[in-house]
Amino acid sequence: MSAHFKEVDFASGGHALRGRLYPAASDKPAPCVVMAHGTSGTFVMVIDEYAEAFQAAGFNVLLYDHAGFGLSDGDADIINPWVQGREYRDACMFVRGMDGVHNGQVIIWGDSYAAGLVLVAGALVDNLAAVVAHIPSCGAELIPFNDKPQQFETLKDIFLNGDLDTFEKDVTGPLPVVSFDQSGTPSLLQPIQAFHWFMSFGGRFDSNWNNAVSRVIPKTEVPFSPQLSAAFIACPTLMVAGRKDEMVHCNPLVQQAVFESIEAPKEWFDIDGGHFGCLYPGTDLFREAIAKEIEFMKQACSSVSA
């Protein structure tokens, strides 16, 4: 597959986020897919090959590293869901300022942890064409909510206006992202499948990946969770779920509850291979996931423009 792109950067949270802009393989203005990786991943760890496929299918793609990871500035190796959710918002603003190649339709795409983020940002960023949640992390257990509409308004207010530095924080780490020895060197992601995938692709030359991470969760009144936000997504939404997913925060019962709460047009797609199967380039599962996501995004954009 032949792809061309240009290096770009945009501002979010006082930091420069860096990535690639893949212009659509089309003579006409086209939708743009905004993409970022999940837990600690960098944009050259497989999802760049998703970006190339989307480009070849006629989409523009903005692919970037979260703050503190890969090529982006920021405090190194820190995951904060509120911060990363705002980065999707700012990436969409950057895309909407592009001249020439963009037709105004924006799709947000995330995998794993970032797939959970887009199911939140999808309810908070206005006028999206679609949301694609690729093997989403929706939580290990169901969270009880007593007044979702009011609690969502609280989430929205914190997202738009809150000073995250004023909240106490739950901090996990620093610790390795993955480890083959959970008794001797415990890691944030524990299944051996995670270790194999990150070592295969993060271990490649020039991946810019670091096997270290801290998870920082502000103690806000409501959680930054798709379990709260999904009911308020207004655009077509695709959830691609891995059968027999190994990751504890990809509990299928929670994923299904999130899906059922979405009132906008939606589609659920099961795929084999657990959490990482469709993140191995050149495999049948890789091609199956890409084909489904392209089909869905084209249909969503057609329905918006119809």
The pLDDT tens digits for 56-100 are 999 999 999 999 999 999 999 999 999 999 999 999 999 999 877
Q: Is residue 278 part of a domain?
A: yes
pLDDT tens digits for range 94-107: 999 987 788 999 99
Structure confidence at residue 99 (pLDDT): 79
Q: In this structure, are residues 59 and 43 in contact, taking their beta carbons and an 8 Å threshold?
A: no
Task: Output the pLDDT for position 1.
Answer: 45
Q: What is the pLDDT of residue 79?
A: 97
| Antiparallel, parallel or unpaired: β 102-111 and 130-134 | parallel
Tokens of 56: 């070849």
In a domain, 282, yes or no: yes
Query: Could you tell me if residue 176 is inside a domain?
Result: no
pLDDT in tens, 89-141: 999 999 999 877 889 999 999 999 999 999 999 999 999 999 999 999 999 99
Percentage, residues of the chain above pLDDT 70: 98
Domain residues for the domain of 258 are 6-165+224-305
Within-domain flag for 182: no
Percent of the residues in the chain that have a pLDDT greater than 90, as a whole number? 94
Q: Is 96 helix (H, G, I), strand (E, B) or coil?
A: helix
Q: What are phi and psi of 259, to 5 degrees?
A: -60, -45
> What total of structural domains would you count in the chain?
1
With CA atoms as reference, report the closest residue to 227 among 262, 269, 274.
262
pLDDT of residue 306: 47
Residue 192 confidence (pLDDT) above 70:
yes
128 is a domain residue:
yes
> Which tens digits make up the pLDDT trace of 18-33?
999 999 988 789 999 9
Residue 196 lies in a domain: no
Residue 204 falls inside a structural domain: no
CATH of the domain at 10: 3.40.50.1820
Q: State the average pLDDT for the chain.
A: 95
pLDDT for 2 equals 53
The pLDDT, as a whole number, for residue 27 is 77
Looking at the chain, how many residues does it have? 306
**Is it true that the peptide bond before 144 is cis, omega within 30 degrees of 0?**
no
Q: How confident is the model at residue 211 (pLDDT cuts 50, 70, 90)?
A: very high
**Residue 8 pLDDT more than 80?**
yes
Residue 46 in any domain: the answer is yes
